[in-house]
Amino acid sequence: MPHRRTWFAALLLALIASAACAVPATPTPAATPVPTNTPPPTAVPGPTATPWPPLSGSGGGFIAFVSTRAGNSDIWIMNADGSDPRPLTANPAQDGWPRWSRAGTHLVFQSTRDGAFNLYAGNILGGSQVDESTLLRLTNSSAGHDSWEPGWSPDGTLVACSIQQAAGSDLFLISADGTSRQQLTKNSAIDGSPDWSPDGTRIVFFSSRDGNWEIYVIQADGTEAQRLTEHAARDHSPAWSPDGTRIAFVSERDGNEEIYLMDPNGGNLQRLTDNPAQDSFPAWSPDGRRIAFSSDRDGNLEIYVMNADGSEQARLTNNPADDHTPTWRQ
Ligand SMILES: [Ca+2]
Ligand SMILES: [Ca+2]
Ligand SMILES: [Ca+2]
Ligand SMILES: [Ca+2]
């Protein structure tokens, strides 16, 4: 299954820095120590300086996602019913992990367009292709210290992310103009895919600090780490519901990747998918009623949507390329 293999390699590049022991087939970035990342030397206007024109769509909002249909990973957008897909980036680099700001006015994503993975805040013009000249680079990472998996704070002033370290990766907060950063976690494990609680007080993420991938929550200042899952299988890709009452995540505890829900204290576990394929990357609709996700149940990775109770699972894309990592805005 070449698409699955290609996607899985891309996923691992995005999710992990040095998990070669857990997944032997994973190409592992060199762990060579390099100078610590520093913010861009000159302050540039923040993304708030350029408001986006309103998009016109067919209702239900818009889903941005990653697709390789143009030959490499780019950010695409479509109406939330799957209509009118079009590319937002067209760059030979690996563009991935798009995330809308809460207000839906800004998009942040990771890209190798300057070498190592760095984070960029993008502007779109009426839903058309990103004007590269308006991209704001938020990090200054070099090879071995790649920046991954950004997530906006609810007020749009900060971006949480995972930055590769000499051993593992740690969580950082980057100011939305890229001029400052704060380290949230510090250990030799992998800490990744941070997502904020809607009230901005907490951050949910996954970590290998206790021996396998589990879901944790910390206060937004990095204190009071609390583990929410405890299972030998991998648990990852948490996404906090818009009303704050549930956390969607991916677990392999039933033999392959499925999407689950739990309360923010780890209780009330509910399985939403039941399919031998990979079901991953849950993304809530802004109204909290639906969850977009990616699955290869129909032969290659496509974007799907379901109600938040797991019912009415429907495919939104139908393309031989890999389509994954959705993010939803109104
Ligand atoms: Ca690209
Ligand atoms: Ca686990
Ligand atoms: Ca599955
Ligand atoms: Ca596809």
Q: What share of the chain is helix, strand, coil (3-state, %, to 5)?
A: 5, 35, 55
Closest-approaching ligand to the CA atom of 92:
1
φ, ψ dihedrals at 191, nearest 5°: -115, 125
**Pick from 109, 160, 57, 98: which is nearest to 294 by CA?**
98
Structure tokens at 147: 């920046």
Q: What is the pLDDT of residues 32-90, one digit of tens each?
A: 444 444 444 333 334 433 333 444 444 588 999 999 999 999 999 999 999 999 999 99
What spacing in Å lies between the alpha carbon of 207 and ligand 2's midpoint?
9
pLDDT for 105: 78
Choice between 257 and 133, residue whose per-residue pLDDT is larger: 257
* The pLDDT of residue 161: 98
- pLDDT mean over 214-224: 97
CA 67 to ligand 1 centroid distance, Å: 9
The runs of H, that is alpha helices, within the chain are: 2-15
Residues 6+ away with beta carbon under 8 Å from 249:
206, 215, 229, 235, 236, 237, 238, 239, 259, 260, 261, 262, 282
Burial class of 268 by CB neighbour count within 10 A (0 to 12, 13 to 18, 19+): exposed
Q: Which CATH superfamily is domain 2-26+62-329 in?
A: TolB, C-terminal domain (2.120.10.30)
Average pLDDT over residues 112-118: 96
Query: What DSSP character marks residue 257?
Result: -
Reported pTM: 0.84
Distance 232 CA to ligand 1 centre (A): 35
CA 110, CA 118: separation in Å to the nearest integer?
5
- Least trusted range by pLDDT, from 129-133, 155-159, 310-314, 317-321: 129-133
Q: Range with the lowest mean pLDDT among 104-113, 158-167, 206-215, 301-310? A: 104-113
Q: Which ligand is nearest to the CA of 90?
A: 1
CB under 5 Å of ion ligand 3: residues: 256, 258, 275, 279
Percent of the chain, pLDDT > 90?
Answer: 74
Task: Give percent above pLDDT 70 in the chain.
Answer: 80
DSSP-assigned letter for residue 245: S
Mean pLDDT, residues 223-241: 98
pLDDT at 18 over 60: no
* Closest ligand to the CA of 260: 3
Beta-carbon count within 10 A of 94 CB: 18
Average pLDDT on 146-166 reads 97
CA 72–ligand 1 middle distance (angstroms): 5
Residue 10 has pLDDT above 60, yes or no: no
Please tell me the number of the ligand nearest to residue 214's CA: 2
Question: How far is the centre of ligand 1, averaged over its atoms, from the C-alpha of 74 (Å)?
Answer: 4
Cα of 251 vs centre of ligand 2, distance in Å, is 7
**Distance of CA 67 from the midpoint of ligand 4 (Å):** 8
**Residue 256 CA, ligand 3 centroid: distance in Å:** 5
Question: How remote is the CA of residue 230 from the centroid of ligand 2, in Å?
Answer: 6
64: number of CA atoms within 13 Å, CB side?
Answer: 30
Q: Which ligand is nearest to the CA of 76?
A: 1
Ligand 4 centroid to Cα of residue 81, in Å, is 16
All residues at 6 or more sequence positions from 42 whose CB lies less than 8 Å from its CB, including other chains: none
DSSP character string of 9-45: HHHHHHH-SS-TTT-TTSPPPP----PPP---SS---
Confidence of residue 204 (pLDDT cuts 50, 70, 90): very high
Question: Of 7-21, 54-68, 80-94, 249-263, which gets the smallest average pLDDT?
Answer: 7-21
Confidence class of residue 124 from pLDDT cuts 50, 70 and 90? Answer: low
**Confidence band, pLDDT 50/70/90 cuts, at residue 310:** very high
What residue segments make up the domains of the chain, in order of their start? 2-26+62-329
254 CA from centroid of ligand 2 (Å): 12
97 pLDDT above the threshold of 60: yes
- What average pLDDT does this structure show over 178-190? 96
DSSP string, 46-100: -GGGSPPPPP--SSS-EEEEEE-TTSS-EEEEEETTS-S-EES---SS-EEEEEE
Distance 205 CA to ligand 1 centre (A): 26
Residues whose Cβ atom is located within 5 A of ion ligand 1: 72, 74, 91, 93, 95
Q: What does the mean pLDDT of the chain come to?
A: 85
Q: Which residues keep their CB under 5 angstroms from ion ligand 4?
A: 300, 302, 319, 323
Q: What angle do CA 64, 280, 229 make, to 5 degrees?
A: 125
Spatial CB neighbours of 30, under 8 Å, sequence gap ≥ 6: 143, 144
* pLDDT at res. 60: 82
Residue 11: predicted pLDDT: 44
